[in-house]
A and B are shown apart, each in its own frame.
Chain A
Amino acid sequence: MSLIAWGQLQYVLAATLLLVGLYGMLVRANFVRKLMAMNVMQVGVIVFFVSLAMRAGGTPPIEIEHQAAGTDVAYANPLPHALMLTAIVVSVSTTGVALALLIRIHRRFDTLDEAELLDRLAE
């Protein structure tokens, strides 16, 4: 038996994205790269939630189609999708605020490199 079943591959993907993102946020020196890593990390969580909603052989949870096809149709759980829609909105607005802050930092200090910035602040 392999370590992970094929059906769980998306969880591996989610975990990978999370870790890549976290690693990037810790290691990268440039603030823009840190921000991008943050986005990668958030996508990891979104993949995780959407995977939870999956069901084998599930169809999209649209009522009209189900009425046509009969009552007991397996369908994907719509709640995590709704939650993630909100999470995506949150992540977009966070990114927006972060970019605005970066623009101000760049105007003031002419750099977005963490080490350089700390040097200037120490002056």
Chain B
Amino acid sequence: MIAAFVVPLVGQVSARLARGVTVVTPAVALVCAVGALRVALDSGPWHYHLGGWAPPWGIEYVVDPLGGGMAVLVALLATLVAIYAGPYLRAVSPRRAAVFNSLFLLLTSGLLGITLTGDLFNLYVFLEISSLAAYGLLASGGGRAVVATFRYLLIGTIAATFYLLGIGYLYALTGTVNMADLAMRLPAAGSGSAMTVGVVLIVVGLAIKMAVFPLHGWMPDAYTYAPPPVIMFIAAVMSKVSAYALLRVLFFVLPPTGAVETALSVLSWVAAGGVLAGSVLALAQTDVRRMLAYSSVGQMGYVVLGLSLGNAAALTGALLHITGHAVAKACLFGAVGSLPRETAQADVAGFAGASRRAPLTMAAFTLAALSLVGIPPTAGFFSKWYLLQGALEADAWPFAAVLLVSSLLSAVYFFRIIERIYFAAGPAPAESDRSRRRPEVSLRLLGPVLTLGAVVLLIGLFNGRLVTAVIRHALPEL
């Protein structure tokens, strides 16, 4: 049973050419992840020792509600994106399609690895695996994308190096890199300067990977020029998985005193700044993809804010926001990515009257946008509600104000587009389109986008069950 879960991880890497494999493997991983999550919820964390070496020497994989939940999220998005990528891949040469497939699976397995590993150094290796695959995928946009990717590579490597150095300090203090072992030994190791340096390095490293303001400089360029399926996946999942890693390290590994407390209070102000800066910058963009990228900076601010407030409500909000935002962002980028074939541009003006040309895609886009703004029946409302509750519980009034103001800002920049979509007069559909009555976009593009839109709504409607069934179990003991 345990093997059934690890096999897809390994199998994905060797999966190469077949297009079918690319779709099936994440789907299998999804089923396995759901199964593993159920086991973890029913009977506690599930440990697997790679190569039969017991920790702390061997590498350990742990499925607990938190990691398992993230794995389900990653696998779900990977499956949908794999389907979505179909039409895009048919347009490029078979060789490049093969490269895409293998890189995509490598990225997915790297991300799944991050969510499941119980070892800090192993996490570093998976972080680099997924990053390397992401560099390759992003660069396939050609021209500008390659330059943006190279700069991302430099910054990403600095981040990873910081993180690795941080592990070095913790290792020097305790002599172990296993998470559970570290959590046991670190309180005894005290909170000297080595501990502080280690914590700071790890937090900064992961914050760069998450693109938290002000360390987000690499992101908008990298996101704007990449091919649509790539960006749909990377924008949705990569920063979330880094956020998961940060949560894991801060709340499950390090003792909640001294350096960590300081790190959290610094992070909370940084996050509040990020929420505002991201929203304002998003407002200033004319290219929709760039706008979405900056809105990600703001939304990651929410997640970090939730982490740094650190009480149960805020953490619930952060986790719910990770889920909701990942799904909504994938939906938004997917919708934008399926359009430009016809509108040929992705600036705000190009969306004029798009609802008449692609009503369903635009409906999904609107739904996801509403979720990010935080309109009641969608996922975003409830995660923001929990975050707000957490901020009030912590008596952090400024942060509560920040949450409200930035919701207004995001309402402004999203409604700007939604207004264009539905009310502005756009170019009339061509005669040939009307006479043939073919579907607005290829079904393979439409399907995943609509599914994601529906999931946004479902997470919103059933958020209570999601919180009690999974997220509550995933919270650290406070």
Contact = CB atoms under 8 A, between A and B. Distances in A.
Interface of A: 18, 22, 25, 31, 34-35, 38, 41-42, 45, 48-49, 52, 79-80, 83, 86-87, 90, 93-94, 97-98, 101-102, 104-105, 108-109, 117, 121
Interface of B: 57, 121, 124-125, 128, 132, 135-136, 139, 142-144, 146-147, 149-150, 153-154, 157-158, 160-161, 164-165, 168, 171-172, 177
A108 B139 CA distance: 13
- Chain A to chain B: the 7 pairs with minimum beta-carbon distance, closest first: A90-B128, A101-B150, A104-B146, A45-B165, A105-B146, A52-B172, A98-B153
A24 to B, nearest CB: 11
A104 B149 CA distance: 11
B161 A90 contact: no
Given A38-B158, A45-B168, A108-B146, 12 more contacts: A18-B165, A25-B154, A34-B154, A41-B158, A49-B168, A83-B177, A86-B121, A87-B124, A90-B124, A90-B125, A94-B153, A101-B139
Nearest to A105: B146
Nearest to A112: B150
A101 B135 contact: yes
Contacts of B160: 90
B146 A94 contact: no
B143 A98 contact: no
Given A41-B158, A83-B177, A94-B128, A101 B164 contact: no
Contacts of A90: 124-125, 128, 160
A38 B154 contact: yes
Given A83-B121, A90-B128, A98 B177 contact: no
Nearest to A87: B164
B150 A105 contact: yes
B302 to A, nearest CB: 30
A86 B135 CA distance: 20
Contacts of B136: 97
B171 A108 contact: no
25 contacts: A18-B161, A18-B165, A25-B154, A25-B158, A35-B154, A38-B158, A41-B158, A45-B168, A49-B168, A79-B57, A80-B171, A83-B177, A90-B125, A90-B160, A93-B128, A94-B128, A94-B157, A98-B153, A98-B154, A101-B149, A105-B146, A105-B150, A108-B143, A109-B147, A117-B147
A83 B149 CA distance: 27
Q: Determine chain A's interface SS by DSSP, over half rule.
A: helix
Contact of B135 (A79, A83, A87, A97): A97
A102 B150 contact: yes
Contacts of A31: 150
A93 B132 contact: yes
A90 B121 CA distance: 12
A32 B153 CA distance: 13
Contacts of B161: 18, 41-42, 45
A8 to B, nearest CB: 12
A34 to B, nearest CB: 6
Contacts of B154: 25, 34-35, 38, 98
B165 A48 contact: yes
Given A83-B177, A104-B139, A52 B168 contact: yes
A49 B166 CA distance: 11
With most chain A CB atoms within 10 A of its CB, the pick from B139, B146, B172, B177 is B146
B153 A97 contact: yes
Nearest to A102: B150
A104 B57 CA distance: 42
A78 B31 CA distance: 39
